[in-house]
A = this chain, B = another copy of it.
Amino acid sequence: MTRKEQKEERRKAILMTALNLFVEKGYYDTKITDIAAAVPMSTGLMFHYFESKEVLLLELVKMGAEGTQALSSGPAAQAMADLPADQYLKGFLQQMFSFANEQPWVFNMFVLMGQVRRNGMPEEARKVAMAVNSIDFTAALIARGQMDGVFRAGDPILMSRCFWASVQGIMEEMAMDREMEAPDPEWIVSILKA
């Protein structure tokens, strides 16, 4: 393994450790020394890998942003593209839940993204988190579902926002209690159903 690869591995380890701690104790209550101790690694060395705590957060948020994109436009999503709109969303949620179950950091990522979007956190990170937008895509899908009569009437944008807000809320609930069972995707999609 080359030096560069080693460094990359180490960076990932730091990122994952930080993600855990940020979600568990919050960004501000997580001290650089906490992350260092958990990796483990000396405090000073952290700055060899990330130039500041803020940059570390930013990288995580970028990961989250990319992940969200990948989730909604990746191959799995493509494969379902011509299902009826309600089937599509159900399948989507199904995949999201089962993926998150295998890779628990996905839950943490949801929580982190939510925190960064809502709470006062460093400007830069906030911007990146805010730029992620699943609303419009889903709104279009909802409009299609309405034409087909599977979804109820209503402003597709508003419905899309409610749908995602619910999903966000539920993912955060699940993140807080890993024992919690995933809900039936049908329940959530019902928000939109005729």
Q: Are A187 and B173 interface neighbours, CB within 8 A?
A: no
Residue A155 is within 8 A (CB to CB) of chain B in the complex: yes
Q: Are A165 and B158 interface neighbours, CB within 8 A?
A: no
What are the interface flags for A162-194 relative to B under an 8 Å C-beta threshold, 1 for contact and 0 otherwise? Answer: 101111111011001000110110011011110
Look across to chain B and name the residue whose beta carbon is closest to the beta carbon of A116: B26
Q: How far is the CA of A170 from the CA of B163 in the complex (A)?
A: 9
Look across to chain B and name the residue whose beta carbon is closest to the beta carbon of A187: B191
State how many copies of this chain the complex holds: 2
Residue A159 is within 8 A (CB to CB) of chain B in the complex: yes
Which of A44-52, A55-63, A65-73, A118-126 is the interface stretch?
A118-126
Q: A residues within 8 Å of B by Cβ?
A: 24-30, 111, 114-115, 117-121, 152, 154-155, 158-159, 161-162, 164-170, 172-173, 176, 180-181, 183-184, 187-188, 190-193
- Can you pick out 30 interface pairs between chain A and chain B where the beta carbons lie within 8 Å of each other? A24-B120, A26-B121, A27-B28, A27-B119, A28-B28, A28-B120, A29-B120, A111-B118, A114-B118, A115-B119, A152-B187, A154-B184, A158-B180, A159-B183, A161-B173, A162-B173, A162-B183, A162-B188, A165-B166, A165-B169, A165-B170, A165-B172, A165-B173, A166-B166, A166-B169, A166-B188, A187-B192, A188-B191, A190-B190, A190-B193
